[in-house]
């Protein structure tokens, strides 16, 4: 055990806590970079990773980053104790997986616990992700991982059944079916506590889009109240920390675009289990530029969802959908929220493809939980839009989530700077690239600027006349429009033949 004088560093490290000691001091005391130490101050303690420095830190000092000094309430000059401790047990299990061995329930539980407790370094996390990717996780391991993620995260306990849920596999811009499905289901008296994600590489996640109309960050207690009142919600899953371990794994998965299937399945399923879902419909869009590119891939994933669902006694249905072009007209938080409201208001500007896809998925969900006979679900869903109940429920949910229930889609104004992309010739649109529209919408400012995005006047297979507008780009910033101009030249987003 060593006593050192705290030197506060006004910076966060993020991830694992780090403390820094003088290099010569470390050497003389056989302390090593990346070694773990228990940091103790005034009856409080945490585990940190040791770093060494030649300059910033003097011989008797210890450099403490903001994450640590805040947690332990350390002030400049305080005496802090550090004690070297071994590696967490879970590093052995990570090593075991690297040796292509199967991990049991307890081993995976321990890894996930150490991830959540921030006891594993990035190096160890990457090793775990790499090993899971290369050696694969079998069904039992995937189930263990799912369970461990659920057990270490927040949980919603509504004490009723059935709890309905849906999940769309990604890669299709504008796919805001959740915002239509939830009010329809809730308007039928069924419970659907939907948590959604924010955009990572897309122009808008459902949480970003809902945020145009209402708050999306709530505690579990607040969420419980909202759902009790309205039967449904559309909130950001990140706020209730449903899958803390998963978020940390994703941080190291992204730079290498590594998506170990078992981790992806566990990540999705854990979020469903965390809200207590009993009946889930999976939307599997297939498209050249979507996440799933072939029917074979979709069928494989379908099987995996069903097998994993069976382990948790979940009722699961999968629906393969068309992911070849954006859904709806708007791409970007505000434009997508406007589409949804137009649709629910039966305004003629409401996108037909979004409506038919959403009611079809809703129908499947109703049939899955026995609230509709086979083949009758979609008609029931359509009726809830026609009779205005879905809109009414949506406004209730918006109000329950702190938004304005009198919201008018026509007062949702997209960014003031615009750019029209016009048909270069008369003909039929034979390509409308998801990837290009995504890039253009992001360059315009989405999702950070809600008002930015792309509005499609024409869609795949539509006939167009030369000079006719195909899409309009909206942005809050003129500079972004300049970027978009260049990007469009590179991307060739539309093909007319």
Q: Which of 73, 160, 229, 256 binds a second copy (CB under 8 A)?
A: 256
124 lies in the binding site for a second copy (CB under 8 A): yes
| Helix then strand then coil, % of the chain, to nearest 5 | 45, 20, 35
Q: How far is the CB of 33 from a second copy (least distance, A)?
A: 8
Residue with tokens 């009993």: 278
Which pair of tokens denotes residue 230? 């309205």
258 lies in the binding site for a second copy (CB under 8 A): yes
Distances (CA, A) of 178 to 186, 232, 266: 12, 11, 21
Q: Which is nearer to a second copy, 36 or 167 (CB)?
A: 36
Q: How far is the CB of 245 from a second copy (least distance, A)?
A: 18
DSSP per-residue string spanning 370-393: TSS-TTTHHHHHHHHHHTSHHHHH
Q: Which of 442, 454, 456, 496 binds a second copy (CB under 8 A)?
A: 442
30 lies in the binding site for a second copy (CB under 8 A): yes
121 lies in the binding site for a second copy (CB under 8 A): yes
Residue 221 is a catalytic residue: no
448 lies in the binding site for a second copy (CB under 8 A): yes
115 lies in the binding site for a second copy (CB under 8 A): no
Q: What is the distance of C-alpha 440 from the center of its chain?
A: 21
12 lies in the binding site for a second copy (CB under 8 A): yes
Q: Which is nearer to a second copy, 271 or 442 (CB)?
A: 442
Pairing label, strands 315-322, 279-286: parallel
Pairing label, strands 79-85, 61-65: unpaired
Q: How far is the CB of 45 from a second copy (least distance, A)?
A: 22
Q: Which is nearer to a second copy, 27 or 44 (CB)?
A: 27
Q: Which is nearer to a second copy, 457 or 483 (CB)?
A: 483
Task: Classify residue 55 as exposed, middle or buried by CB count within 10 Å of its CB (0-12, 13-18, 19+).
Answer: exposed
- Return the range that interacts with a second copy (CB under 8 A); candidates 72-80, 170-178, 248-256, 278-286: 248-256
Give the active site residue among 122, 215, 259, 353: 259
> How long is the chain?
497
53 lies in the binding site for a second copy (CB under 8 A): yes
490 lies in the binding site for a second copy (CB under 8 A): no
11 lies in the binding site for a second copy (CB under 8 A): yes
Packing angle of the helix pair 178-187, 333-344 (nearest 10 deg): 40
- Return the range that interacts with a second copy (CB under 8 A); candidates 117-125, 272-280, 368-376, 398-406: 117-125
85 lies in the binding site for a second copy (CB under 8 A): no
56 lies in the binding site for a second copy (CB under 8 A): yes
Q: Which of 162, 171, 328, 445 binds a second copy (CB under 8 A)?
A: 445
Any idea what the Cα angle at residue 152 is, between residues 151 and 157, rounded to 5°? 55
491 lies in the binding site for a second copy (CB under 8 A): no
- CA nearest to 281, candidates 178, 210, 205: 178
Which pair of tokens denotes residue 131? 């090993």
Q: How far is the CB of 200 from a second copy (least distance, A)?
A: 9
- The whole-angstrom separation of Cα 86 and Cα 475 is 53
Question: Is residue 443 a contact partner of residue 483, using CB atoms and an 8 Å limit?
Answer: yes
Scanning 211-321, the segments in alpha helix (DSSP H) are 220-230, 244-253, 261-274, 295-311
70 lies in the binding site for a second copy (CB under 8 A): no
Strand locations in 384-452, DSSP E? Answer: 417-422, 427-432
- The whole-angstrom separation of Cα 382 and Cα 472 is 30
Q: Which is nearer to a second copy, 98 or 311 (CB)?
A: 98
Catalytic residue set: 259
Footprint on this chain of a second copy (rule: CB under 8 A)? 9-12, 27-28, 30, 34, 53-56, 66, 91, 94-95, 98, 100, 121-124, 126-127, 130-131, 133-135, 252, 254-258, 442-443, 445, 448-449
């Amino acid at each position: 055990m060593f006593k050192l004088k705290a030197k506060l560093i006004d910076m966060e490290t993020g991830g694992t806590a780090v403390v820094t000691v003088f290099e010569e001091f470390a050497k003389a005391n056989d302390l090593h970079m990346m070694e773990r130490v228990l940091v103790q101050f005034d009856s409080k303690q945490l585990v940190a990773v040791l770093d060494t420095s030649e300059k910033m830190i003097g011989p008797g000092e210890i450099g403490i980053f903001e994450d640590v000094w805040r947690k332990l309430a350390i002030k400049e000059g305080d005496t802090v104790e550090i004690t070297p401790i071994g590696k967490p047990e879970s590093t052995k299990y990570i090593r075991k997986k690297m040796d292509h061995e199967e991990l049991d329930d307890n081993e995976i539980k321990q890894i996930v616990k150490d991830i959540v407790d921030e006891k594993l370094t990035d190096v160890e996390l990457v090793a775990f992700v790499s090993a899971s990717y290369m050696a694969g996780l079998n069904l039992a391991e995937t189930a263990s991982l799912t369970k461990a993620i659920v057990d270490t995260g927040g949980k919603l306990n509504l004490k009723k059944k059935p709890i309905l849920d849906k999940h769309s596999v990604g890669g299709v811009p504008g796919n805001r079916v959740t915002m239509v499905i939830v009010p329809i289901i809730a308007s039928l008296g069924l419970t659907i506590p939907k948590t959604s994600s924010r955009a990572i590489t897309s122009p808008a996640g459902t949480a970003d889009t809902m945020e145009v109309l209402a708050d999306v960050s709530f505690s579990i207690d607040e969420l419980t109240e909202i759902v009790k009142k309205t039967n449904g919600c559309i909130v950001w899953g990140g706020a209730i920390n449903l899958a803390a371990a998963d978020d940390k794994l994703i941080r190291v998965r992204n730079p290498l675009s590594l998506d170990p299937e078992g981790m992806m399945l566990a990540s999705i399923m854990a979020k469903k289990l965390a809200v207590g879902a009993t009946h889930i419909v999976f939307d599997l869009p297939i498209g050249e530029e979507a996440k799933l590119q072939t029917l074979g891939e979709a069928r494989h994933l379908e099987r995996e969802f069903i097998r994993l669902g069976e382990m948790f006694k979940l009722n699961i249905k999968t629906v393969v959908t068309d992911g070849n072009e954006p859904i709806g007209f708007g791409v970007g938080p505000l434009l997508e929220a406007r589409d949804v409201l137009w649709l629910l208001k039966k305004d003629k500007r409401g996108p037909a493809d979004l409506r038919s896809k959403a009611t079809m998925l809703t129908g499947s969900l109703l049939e899955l939980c026995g609230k509709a006979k086979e083949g009758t679900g979609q008609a029931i869903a359509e009726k809830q839009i026609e009779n205005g109940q879905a809109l009414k429920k949506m406004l209730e949910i918006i109000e329950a989530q702190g938004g304005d229930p009198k919201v008018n889609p026509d007062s949702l104004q997209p960014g003031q700077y615009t750019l029209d992309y016009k048909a270069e010739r008369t003909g039929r649109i034979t390509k409308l690239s998801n990837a290009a529209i995504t890039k253009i919408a992001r360059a315009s400012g989405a999702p950070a600027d809600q008002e930015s995005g792309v509005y499609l006047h024409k869609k795949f297979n539509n006939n167009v006349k030369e000079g006719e507008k195909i899409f309009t780009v909206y942005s809050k910033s003129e500079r972004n429009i300049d970027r978009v101009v260049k990007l469009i030249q590179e991307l060739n987003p539309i093909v007319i033949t």
